[in-house]
Structure 1
Amino acid sequence: MTDGTRDAGDPTQGMTRGLPNYGDPGFSLFLRKAFIKGAGYTDDALDRTVVGIVNTGSGFNPCHGNMPQLIEAVKRGVMLAGGLPVDFPTISLHESFSNPTSMYLRNLMSMDTEEMIKALPLDAVVLIGGCDKTVPAQLMGAASAGIPAIQLVTGSMLTGGHRGERVGACTDCRAFWGKYRGDEIDDQEISDVNSSLVGSVGTCSVMGTASTMAGIAEAMGIALPGSATPPAVTADRMRIAEQTGTRAVGIARERLTIDKILTESSFENALRVLLALGGSTNGIVHLAAVAGRLGFDLDLETFDQLSRETPVLVNLKPAGSHYMEDLHRAGGIPMLLDRLRDLVDLDALTITGRTLGEELADRDTSFTQEVVRPREDPIYPAGSIAVLRGNLAPAGAIVKQAAATPELLEHTGRAVVFENSADMAERIDDEDLDVRADDVLVLKNIGPLGAPGMPEAGYIPIPKKLARQGVKDMVRISDGRMSGTARGTIVLHVSPESAVGGPLAYVRDGDTVRLSVADRVLSLEVSDSELATRREQHPVTPPETPARGYRKLFVDQVTQAEDGADFRFLQAEQKRASVPRAR
């Protein structure tokens, strides 16, 4: 049928799907239809392909501030294709309005998304998200729910201006705050810039986690081609939303379930794009979590091989100088994929029902632009992220080398240790702190279990007394995360984490730490016997398990960073393969 109604051969179920159990299926359907007809629906409407639209709008989530307009545009697209659009709410997470951290709540949002998709009579679902943890949460939940799904991101904010300088959240947030901590700007200027950094609703205008996940979703084929980069408040974003609604009806009719899109090839393409974007380190944790829902393991060693051969081509902050709206005008993710043709799988299926190669063939990438560099003139010659191993990180750690100070990528220094975030907050700016510019700052107990929630506290601030001396960067190491908007020589995701007895737990002030990105080494220059003695004398006591609530569930079930910091019981029961595939 072309009008959205069903015939006898239509495999979708619409209003008959997932009926409540009253012991009489006929009565269950009768009751369901009676109630929804109270909202003014006709039998003709209720007989059509039902497309659910996940509404993550919230007054506390300015990244999703265009949600009402997006929903209306998606509904328009669904109805143009003859379907019935119905929106429904789930949890909404914003990075700056989620205590203790949005990462702590990501798995809860994924569960909410999964269970609502399963509970409602949907033939397909449109996932509308934007702020950092919402897109991975939605993909995790949809992957577990298993029905046809399509991602629509809310889009980036517009840039602002400050004293003649173009600014945007949130790389510039950190840059100005660093100047303030170093007494380079005063109270009045930091107050002025606070009102200028965010030019509109929408996600961060740099290559932070939100922009990274938008690019990844498009590269994986779960979002429409060209959908990652239109800013939130533009007509392009609304047109993409309408087209997403129309395509949602198509994937429902074709039974194009999410597992047919999120394959080994699509995950590898996503990892390539993550590297070439200079994307957020958080993207690795999120991709590992999504992959785990489908039975794939993220292979860090093979990912590092990809990194060695995938240059950073996108000139966006924090690795470059431009903003997301510039990337959109420069051709967006299709322009980048065109530059990576020989490195990506062009046969990967996309949400359009066509292959990635077929989609790229219809894109004009011949025009001149300055944001997406040619392969022979990259922003950074290798991938943005390197995987480290050593006696300090037996299960791995990562560093965003493209956003680091080059001379610090090979560094040996004295450890200055903070036991946890509270210890760091108390002592980091103490004038009596024994710290030098060539030291290595080490922060423990901010991993998935230790915090709990793996907060973005890995961006350890430069001690004030060094900031005032002009120190802009130091080697910093933790088992936590940092924002994708941040710059610096910062080692993250050290695993196993301190709270489970990883070697990081036994680092002491004055120990010598070696970082070698060239050799992919993160090591503590302490003998094995000395480490064994420290473990015996000061064994790690795991965090006390809370008595109730979501926190208890989190502490009981959270995995380490390399497994996506997901919950064990939410991962697929059967393992399928590792991604990316070994070459």
Structure 2
Amino acid sequence: MEEVIVDRLRSADWYAGSDRNAYIHRAWMRRGVPDDALDSSRPQIAIANTASDLTPCNVHLNEVADSVKQGVWAAGGVPLNLPVVSLGETQVKPTAMLWRNMAAMAMEEMFRANPIDGLVLLGGCDKTIPALLMAAASVDIPAIVVPGGPMLTGHFRGQALGCGTDVWRLSEEARAGTISTRQFIQSEQSMIRSKGHCNTMGTASTMAVAAEALGMTIPGFAGIPAADARLLSMSHDTGRLVVELIAQGRRPSDIMTKESFLNAIIAIAAVGGSTNAVVHLLAIAGRLGVDLTLEDFDAAGAGVPVMANLQPSGDFLMDDLYRAGGVLALLSQVRDLLYPEPITVTGTPLVEYLVDQPIYDDTVILPRDTPLMDDAGIAVLRGNLAPRGAIVKPAAATAELLQHTGPAVVFDSIEDMRERIDDPDLEVTADSVLVLRGCGPRGYPGFPEVGNMPLPRKLLEQGVRDMVRISDARMSGTAYGTVILHVSPEAAAGGPLAFVRTGDVITVDVANRSLTMDVTDEELHARTQTPASEAAYAAPVRGWAKLYVDHVMQADQGADLDFLVGSSGDGVGRESH
């Protein structure tokens, strides 16, 4: 064990002493705990728990919290369940992303305000791990992530179902008439087999991988299925480790360095991870003062092959990945690309855990020399349509469409798109480029996952299954297609997307990282926004939505609130430092 460098616990500011305030703090917490539970030698551990019946992917985290508690007690700490704001991706309207920053801000304030020496962060569903890491980064007290794990694979008519991915696929087949509505609805009973989050390499799994690559989990934790007993065992180990972490004074800022973020980008590329990770990692880095940019995603991810043969890019699912050797086995194949210095919560560098990690099924974890896709990290596109960048996930796209020129078919809002997309009179062909605006961080608001627009029914009936789609929106990590996202600046912020007209010729060239429209600067500057698009932009007059719209930054900055950038430390009632 490293030399102990902490001689006074943070919680002592509440519990130490014989004055009236210390008496009150102690007395109200003496509810059946051991007599020495509030002694200055006992670290107080908050288990930040995002369990909620309205976040179905996180319901089991109460059970996980019990295992963490046992580990904390065993190591001499005092565990404290702290329910925090939970965001259920499938339930919250208009989009859980509207409240990611609110959840992070509320968590941050609770972490800072309470007598807490360390944190165990229980997350799973898409926004919960990002919000927890943003908050922990802002307060910067010792913290470890416990990812809730993916669900087991369900089957329908003998075929494995990928959560999210097969919803998109089956719904399009129903719209195309190749399966009946009854068959589509019947598959619903088989989609969710067990506790846990989506079993594809969607945003939830991606952020678990990112947390591990950042060094914020015990190595080997990411990807353990929620129903696997080893998840509870690792949760117990995490409870023990957080007590040690406090003694050593190791904080998130010691672990999540610039090189750690670059390692996370490489890991996300190797697993074919979600585009949403871009926004979340930028926001977490911003809380730490780490200078992470879109260019880092393009540079660090360049040349990294996708070796995880997982939906939505490949064939298998998350429990297959764990069976085949897990995240560490996959990352062992790109060990030479990773920065060797960044440490994990254990104090040992991540790369040291990537030695002698066998692969048990090379149809799931593909060999590096025969990957699912070469050089398939998230690509950043720029041009007169996206001056501050847009992103695309080549691994989920149709290769032939990664270089494409076609006329725009423009939708001024989500409602406009839904009203017209299946109109048989819509002038659209397979070569058209579908453009949706008004869905960025400020415009809708909340930056919804609607970038993977449904294809026009008449084209589906002709056998078309992919088209180039461009928007200032996000898309689910479980989704697929040639979908260009996060166009920045967004239309609601006056970006060029606001001035595209139906018929404008748009060229996508992923190899050369460009996204342009064949419109001169003079003509573009002379154009005005359509009344329909301006009318659709959010204009809240009160509450969180107004605060959000007034202060949210653009996608290329992580869509955090401008006044939350930078760490404020763990001090209570003192100026930020």
Task: Sort the TM-score into its range (normalised by shorter chain).
Answer: over 0.9
User: Which of 325, 338, 341 is the matching residue for 1:344?
Assistant: 338
Task: Name which of structure 1's ranges 180-189 and 529-538 shifts more when overlaid on structure 2.
Answer: 529-538
Residue identity in the other structure for 1:484? G
Are residues 1:466 and 2:459 paired? yes
Specify whether residues 78 and 418 from structure 1 end up closer, same or farther in structure 2 by C-alpha distance, changes over 3 A only. same
Are residues 1:297 and 2:294 paired? no
1:387 aligns with 380
For residues 221-232 of structure 1, what are the structure 2 equivalents within 5 Å? 221-232=215-226
Q: How many residues align?
A: 564
Task: Name which of structure 1's ranges 40-49 and 265-274 shifts more when overlaid on structure 2.
Answer: 40-49
Does the 8 A contact of 2:215 with 2:260 survive in 1? yes
2:67 aligns with 73
1:432 aligns with 425
Specify whether residues 25 and 137 from structure 1 end up closer, same or farther in structure 2 by C-alpha distance, changes over 3 A only. farther
2:35 aligns with 43
1:170 aligns with 164
2:543 aligns with 549
Does the 8 A contact of 1:107 with 1:137 survive in 2? yes
Deviations for 1:409-436, whole angstroms, at most 9, x for unmatched residues?
A: 1111111000011111111111221111
Deviations for 1:192-216, whole angstroms, at most 9, x for unmatched residues?
A: 1011111112110010000000001
Give the distance between the partners of 1:59 and 1:196, measured in 2 at CA: 20
Give the distance between the partners of 1:19 and 1:301, measured in 2 at CA: 47
SS in 2 for 1:412: strand
Specify whether residues 18 and 569 from structure 1 end up closer, same or farther in structure 2 by C-alpha distance, changes over 3 A only. farther
Deviation at 1:555, TM superposition (A): 0.8
Does the 8 A contact of 1:285 with 1:565 survive in 2? yes
1:279 aligns with 273
Are residues 1:401 and 2:394 paired? yes
Specify whether residues 165 and 120 from structure 1 end up closer, same or farther in structure 2 by C-alpha distance, changes over 3 A only. same
Give the distance between the partners of 1:453 and 1:546, measured in 2 at CA: 12
Deviation at 1:546, TM superposition (A): 2.9
Give the distance between the partners of 2:137 and 2:276, measured in 1 at CA: 19
Give the distance between the partners of 1:382 and 1:189, measured in 2 at CA: 38
For residues 345-494 of structure 1, what are the structure 2 equivalents within 5 Å? 345-361=339-355, 363-365=356-358, 367=360, 369-494=362-487
Deviation at 1:132, TM superposition (A): 0.3
User: Which of 99, 113, 118 is the matching residue for 1:124?
Assistant: 118
1:241 aligns with 235
Give the distance between the partners of 2:532 and 2:287, measured in 1 at CA: 33
1:182 aligns with 176
Task: Name which of structure 1's ranges 124-133 and 429-438 shifts more when overlaid on structure 2.
Answer: 429-438
Residue identity in the other structure for 1:10? D
2:571 aligns with none
SS in 2 for 1:36: coil
Deviation at 1:18, TM superposition (A): 5.3
Give the distance between the partners of 1:193 and 1:301, measured in 2 at CA: 41
2:10 aligns with 13
Give the distance between the partners of 1:13 and 1:544, measured in 2 at CA: 42
Give the distance between the partners of 2:5 and 2:412, measured in 1 at CA: 65
Task: Name which of structure 1's ranges 445-454 and 173-182 shifts more when overlaid on structure 2.
Answer: 173-182
Identity %: 47
Does the 8 A contact of 1:448 with 1:559 survive in 2? yes
Give the distance between the partners of 2:483 and 2:19, measured in 1 at CA: 60
> With structure 2 as the length reference, what TM-score do the two structures score?
0.94
Deviation at 1:301, TM superposition (A): 2.4
Give the distance between the partners of 1:558 and 1:377, measured in 2 at CA: 42
RMSD of the TM alignment (CA)? 2.2
Does the 8 A contact of 1:17 with 1:120 survive in 2? no
> With structure 1 as the length reference, what TM-score do the two structures score?
0.93
Residue identity in the other structure for 1:398? I
Residue identity in the other structure for 1:548? R
Task: Name which of structure 1's ranges 239-248 and 565-574 shifts more when overlaid on structure 2.
Answer: 565-574
Deviation at 1:304, TM superposition (A): 1.3
Give the distance between the partners of 1:522 and 1:8, measured in 2 at CA: 52
Deviation at 1:67, TM superposition (A): 1.2
Question: Which of structure 1's runs of 4+ aligned residues deviate more than 6 A?
Answer: 536-540
Task: Name which of structure 1's ranges 253-262 and 429-438 shifts more when overlaid on structure 2.
Answer: 429-438
1:563 aligns with 557
Residue identity in the other structure for 2:302? R
SS in 2 for 1:121: coil
Give the distance between the partners of 1:212 and 1:328, measured in 2 at CA: 14
- 5+ residue gaps, structure 2, are 569-577
Deviations for 1:143-173, whole angstroms, at most 9, x for unmatched residues?
A: 0011001001110011111111111302111
Does the 8 A contact of 1:162 with 1:196 survive in 2? yes
1:495 aligns with 488
